[in-house]
Amino acid sequence: MICPLCNKNVKELHKRSHILPDNVYQKIYNKNPSKEKPRLSEINFQNKKSIKAQTGFYGKIMCSECERKSQNYDDYFHKLLKDKNIKEYTKYSEILNFNFKKTQKYIVLCILREHLYQKKLLNKNYFNRLKNLYLNDINDDETFPIIIIRILKNNDLFKYGICPPYWDRIGDHRVIRFSHDGFDFVTFISSHKKTLWVKNIRLKKDQFIMINIKNRTDTRSFKKILKTASKIIKK
Ligand SMILES: [Zn+2]
């Protein structure tokens, strides 16, 4: 059997690979201390349906070696957000002392896992290019720009909600988004030229910016917020 991620010939695939890492579900588990396990709902924007499960979502999607490696990125990113080595500005925050490749690999990995799980998120071209970005040490922060948004309001559904990767559109751009722990990760996929505001606020090799928004709003006002943030960051 061929592992779809590393293309190596393996006996079998790992039995329980989480689509989003297990630790993103901890908040939900902890919020419900009763003996009864909470029921999670996965809202699938692509198929417009909500699936219920007792635990996180997992599947047979990669070999054990890929699973072991992927856990390093999951752990790295979880620790990065937990350490809160953050410098606060009015409209945005900056995470200091981060590793660009590991951060980018974590976000790309979540997209790849969702694709391997439902087998229809990406076309062959985008799958191969994102896979290449994940497997190799290419220092590229421009081809697939990533914007990270932090939701501040505690009563927003997305503050605690978990949303696996799905397609969305921001302006003319096609993006893949996913959310957990009050963060919204937006990866620009379309191949046409990225506008200046996207370039300004994207995750860069030497700068990890998070755009602070009160709550998750509709796509139109969302673009306006991002453009405003881009002007402030540029100064
Ligand atoms: Zn593999």
C-alpha 138 – ligand 1 centre gap (Å):
19
Q: In this predicted model, what pLDDT tens digit does every residue of 156-192 receive, in sequence order?
A: 666 667 788 989 888 888 999 998 888 899 999 987 7
Which one-letter amino acid corresponds to residue 34? S
Q: How far is the CA of 73 from the centre of ligand 1 (A)?
A: 15
Say yes or no to pLDDT of 227 above 80: no
- For residue 69, name the pLDDT band (cuts at 50, 70, 90): very high
Structure tokens at 152: 């501040």
Closest by CA to 54, choosing from 32, 79, 73, is: 32
Q: Is the pLDDT of residue 52 over 90?
A: no
Residue 198 has pLDDT above 80, yes or no: yes
Q: What is the pLDDT, as a whole number, of residue 218?
A: 59
Residue position matching structure tokens 């302006």: 171
Distance 59 CA to ligand 1 centre (A): 14
Spatial separation of the C-alpha atoms in residues 95 and 177, rounded to whole Å: 20
pLDDT at 120: 84
For residue 127, how far is its CA from the centre of ligand 1 (angstroms)?
15
Report pTM: 0.86
How many A from CA of 55 to the centre of ligand 1? 24
- Return the percentage of the chain with pLDDT > 70, whole number: 80
CA 8 to ligand 1 center in whole angstroms: 6
What is the mean predicted confidence (pLDDT) over 96-119? 94
pLDDT score for 25: 73
- How many angstroms separate the alpha carbon of residue 204 from the centre of ligand 1? 28
pLDDT-derived band at 40, boundaries 50, 70, 90: low
Q: 5-8 long-range contacts, Cβ below 8 Å, gap at least 24? A: 5/61, 5/62, 5/63, 5/66, 5/112, 5/116, 5/131, 5/135, 6/62, 6/63, 6/65, 6/66, 6/135, 8/63, 8/65
**C-alpha 161 to ligand 1 mean position (Å):** 30
Cα 53 to ligand 1 centroid, rounded to whole Å: 26
Q: Return left, alpha or beta for 228; rule: phi > 0 is left, psi -120 to 50 is alpha, else beta.
A: alpha
Q: Which residue has the higher pLDDT, 84 or 208?
A: 208
Ligand 1 center from residue 131 Cα (angstroms): 11
pLDDT-based confidence at residue 35 (cuts at 50, 70, 90): very low
Question: In angstroms, what is the span from residue 18 Cα to ligand 1's centroid?
Answer: 15
pLDDT of 39 reads 47
Q: What is the pLDDT of residues 116-155, one digit of tens each?
A: 998 789 999 999 999 999 999 889 999 999 999 988 876 6
List the one residue out of 58, 57, 107, 56 whose CA is nearest residue 80.
Answer: 107
Among 40-44, 217-221, 229-233, where is mean pLDDT lowest? 40-44
Distance (angstroms) between ligand 1 centre and the Cα of 2 equals 8
pLDDT over 70 at 9, yes or no: yes
Give the tokens for residue 149: 């948004």
DSSP-derived 3-state class of residue 159: helix
Is the pLDDT confidence value at 46 over 60?
Answer: no
Q: Please tell me the distance between residue 12's alpha carbon and the centre of ligand 1 in angstroms.
A: 10
SS3 124: helix
Q: Give yes or no for residue 201 having a pLDDT over 50.
A: yes
Query: How many angstroms is it from 58 CA to the middle of ligand 1?
Result: 16
pLDDT at 48 over 90: no
Q: Please tell me the distance between residue 205's alpha carbon and the centre of ligand 1 in angstroms.
A: 27
Nearest to 199 by CA among 220, 227, 179, 167: 227
Whole-number mean pLDDT of the chain? Answer: 83
Q: Which two tokens stand for residue 154?
A: 């505690």
> What's the rounded mean pLDDT across residues 195-210?
92
Please state the separation of Cα 192 from the chain's center in Å. 21
Give whole-number Cα distances, 193 to 23, 131, 165, 221, in Å: 36, 21, 23, 22
